[in-house]
Amino acid sequence: MEWSDIYCVSCYAFELDGAHWLGVVVDDDGGNFIELLSVWPGFADATAALSRHLPGIDSQWLVRAQELTEDDEPLVVWQR
C-alpha cells in the first residue's frame, strides 16, 4: 500500500494473555487494509511513520488511542 492510497486510520484496544494491547488499522479506499498490533516488533516505527506521512493527523493520536479500552468502539484518528 502506498502512502497516497491510505484512506483511513483507526485504532482499537484488545486484551491478550491479560495484557492491554492496541491495534491500528490502515485502510485504502478499495476495501484493503493493513492491521498493525502493538504486540509486534516494529509497531513503534510503523506508527511513527504514519505520524510523519499523513497530513493533518493529530500529533496526539497514539496517546488518545492508548487510552482506549476493549469495550470502546474503534477510534478513527485520520481520514482523507
For the chain, the domains span: 3-79
**What's the pLDDT band for 8 if we cut at 50, 70, 90?**
very high
* pLDDT, tens digit (0-9, with 9 covering 90-100), for 32-72: 999 999 999 999 999 999 999 999 999 999 999 999 999 99
pTM attached to this predicted model: 0.91
Q: Which residues contact 12 (CB under 8 A, 6 or more apart)?
A: 22, 23, 25, 68, 72, 73, 74, 75
* pLDDT, tens digit (0-9, with 9 covering 90-100), for 11-27: 999 998 888 999 999 99
- The Cα-based distances of 18 to 21, 24, 30 in angstroms read 10, 19, 35
The pLDDT of residue 43: 96
